[in-house]
Amino acid sequence: MGHVERLQVTAGRAYRVDFTLESAPVLSARVEDGSGRPVRGLEILVRPLPRPPWGLTSGGMLDTEQLRLDGTGHFAHGRTDPDGRIALRALGPGTYGVFCAREEWILEHERVLRPGDGEARVTAWPAHAVVGTVRDAATDDPVDRAHVTVVLRTGAGHAWTKSGTVTRGRLWLAWKPAAEETEHGFEAAVSVAAPGYLTRKKLILFPRGTRRRQVSFQLETPPARGFASVLLEVVDSWGKPVDLALLFRTDPASGLAVTPEGPGLYRLRAPPGKRTLRVAPRLRLGRTLEWTGSPEWREGHEALVRCELPAFGIVRVRRPASAGEKKPWLVAADADDGNGGGVFQIEEDEVRFAVVAGLWHFGPEGARRTVTVRPGAEVDVTLGG
């Protein structure tokens, strides 16, 4: 270990200084995957910790460039050998956090090393990661201290939420993948919020076998006066974005403007104030397929509101090919549990309706069709006659 001696030097005199050097303590570890096999060639980084590492980083990952930017460049790093082992000289006594300097892997959470403790076993998993940049849309400058949230959804409807902080415009969020993510793939709704900026959100897909996706955000500042908006996320009861033509109504109804921002995401602008908002599919049977909320439009601000519609499916009603002359048909529809229904007129060969999931009856008297509508599914009904 290094040693420092201080002495006063006078011109014309010679001095003798003796140093006794001690060998630096060593931090040793063996990095294994989830099955106990060694991970070779993985860049590992250790740094002294003034406190335990949890909460300091996202997912046990830290890169050397970020350490330099943060002014905490006192670290040691190296690569694991073919047996997954690594030995690094410590910078002094104390506790060290161990991190992975690559985005493809994630280390065991809350893992620390101490000199003299012998070889530690550290588990590493192939990581899923969202990486990219967050910049000011007007100046292209990096945005610091933005908060990023990632909502993961699989095809089975299961959801997980991950969150972190953007440092100097660098978005880097990684996590240990669940088995369902690895086997089937998933979608990730990434939202970024920063003080003084409008919230932005993007939906990105992770097909099966994809571990890393790149995304960039350009954040806009709201106008100084006369601006009020709500960023509305519309999902079904399974948490999946609703990609249908929707009807938005407010009470009072003055001055509402709607701009689609992505699948299931809409920016609603209105004069400041609190008002009742109603959202429903444009083509629907039954008034129960509707969401009602009371968000507040605040001048110069934008609220993020989640709208969850009841479980519903799509029914596509078709006229039979043998109908002959094409004239409007009056068709009755009703839910088996009385939860919606009515009489509608078919002008074209087919029409699509959004209906509450359940058992439904369609058709004119004497030629009725009964179908089961499942959440998120689409079913065809061809009328007879």
Same domain, 61 and 98: yes
Same domain, 246 and 188: no
* Residue 122: CATH number of its domain: 2.60.40.1120
Same domain, 278 and 351: no
Does residue 19 sit within a domain? no
The last residue of a domain, from among 194, 219, 244? 219
**C-alpha span between 288 and 237 (Å, rounded):** 14
* Residue 239: CATH number of its domain: 2.60.40.2070
**C-alpha span between 331 and 44 (Å, rounded):** 68
Same domain, 112 and 44: yes
Cα separation values, 145 from 142, 262, 285, Å? 10, 25, 46
The last residue of a domain, from among 289, 308, 327? 308
Same domain, 114 and 65: yes
Same domain, 169 and 120: no
What is the chain's pLDDT, residue by residue, as a tens digit (385 residues)? 444 556 677 777 777 777 665 566 788 889 988 888 999 988 888 877 764 443 334 344 444 444 443 444 467 788 899 999 988 877 677 788 787 776 678 776 556 778 878 888 888 888 888 888 999 988 999 998 888 888 888 766 677 788 888 878 888 888 888 777 777 788 888 888 887 787 888 888 888 888 888 899 998 876 656 668 888 888 887 777 887 888 888 888 777 888 887 778 888 888 888 888 989 888 777 667 888 888 888 877 778 888 888 888 888 887 766 555 566 667 777 777 666 666 767 667 777 888 888 888 887 656 678 888 887 788 888 876 5
The last residue of a domain, from among 109, 126, 143? 126
Same domain, 152 and 118: no
Does residue 244 sit within a domain? yes
Does residue 7 sit within a domain? no
What pLDDT is recorded for position 363? 74
Domains in the chain, number? 4
Does residue 57 sit within a domain? yes
Does residue 8 sit within a domain? no
Same domain, 80 and 163: no
**C-alpha span between 100 and 62 (Å, rounded):** 6
Does residue 16 sit within a domain? no
Same domain, 152 and 168: yes
Same domain, 327 and 275: no
Does residue 354 sit within a domain? yes
Does residue 270 sit within a domain? yes
Same domain, 212 and 237: no
**Residue numbers of the domain that contains 360:** 312-382
Same domain, 338 and 293: no
